[in-house]
Amino acid sequence: GAVVSQHPSRVICKSGTSVKIECRSLDFQATTMFWYRQFPKQSLMLMATSNEGSKATYEQGVEKDKFLINHASLTLSTLTVTSAHPEDSSFYICSARPPTSTDTQYFGPGTRLTVL
Amino acid sequence: SQKIEQNSEALNIQEGKTATLTCNYTNYSPAYLQWYRQDPGRGPVFLLLIRENEKEKRKERLKVTFDTTLKQSLFHITASQPADSATYLCALDMDSSASKIIFGSGTRLSIRP
């Protein structure tokens, strides 16, 4: 299957700092990427849809000013958690959708964020 | 709003037996339903997709059924192996035009030797 990478795989930061997570589609150009969050023993919750060249679409209850998404190229989307707090600690996972498919997403390996 | 439930939080079965996982949904008529495998600390890996007009789909030891009347999908792993131990997630499309999917809470499957 297609490969989607995330960097970093783990990050620990202090409360109040900002953290940037990168999501790269290695095999295809992705006009659409998705960002999910997963708390322990819970399922993935869609946070936002990242669209190349336009603003991200956020799900209800997700603060767009706190979770900044930039989809600057067809292979890269970034999620920046601004002014992180301990409650932002979670597993963040991105996915990328091939341009020729409407029902397939390839997921990255995830980024474990711990805010102290 | 759409609701998707995987009835068993955990399932423990003997190696060689068939594992059957259940996914139920309400308040929606999805165009398709997907099953994923997730290992601890990893992202989900796509396994199978079944569309609303399909009753059953198979892939090697995996079989998925889709009953749109019961609003239920069953996921079977035949001749289960310890390596099949993982969390299995079902997902259905919540907005086909936007390719958005919603995940169930998952079933943690353990296959004991």
> What are A47-73's pLDDT values in tens digits?
999 988 888 999 999 999 999 999 988
For A:13-52, CB contacts with B below 8 A are 32, 34, 42-46, 49
Nearest by CB to A102, which of B41, B46, B96? B96
DSSP state of A100: T
Name every chain B residue with its beta carbon within 8 A of the beta carbon of A95. 43
Q: Is the pLDDT of residue B96 over 80?
A: no
Segment A65-71 long-range contacts (CB within 8 Å, at least 24 positions apart): A67/A35, A69/A35, A71/A33
Q: Is residue B99 less than 8 Å (CB to CB) from chain A?
A: yes
Tell me: the pLDDT tens digits for B28-70? Answer: 888 899 999 999 999 999 999 999 999 999 999 999 999 999 9
Gap between the Cα atoms of B112 and A114, Å rounded = 33
Cα–Cα distance measured from residue B109 to residue B89, given in angstroms and rounded to the nearest whole number: 11
Establish if A100 touches chain B: CB-CB under 8 angstroms. Answer: no
How would you write the pLDDT of chain A (116 residues) with one tens digit per residue? 669 999 999 999 999 999 999 999 998 898 899 999 999 888 899 999 998 888 899 999 999 999 999 998 899 999 999 999 999 999 999 999 888 877 888 999 999 999 99
Chain B residues with beta carbon closer than 8 angstroms to that of A42: 105
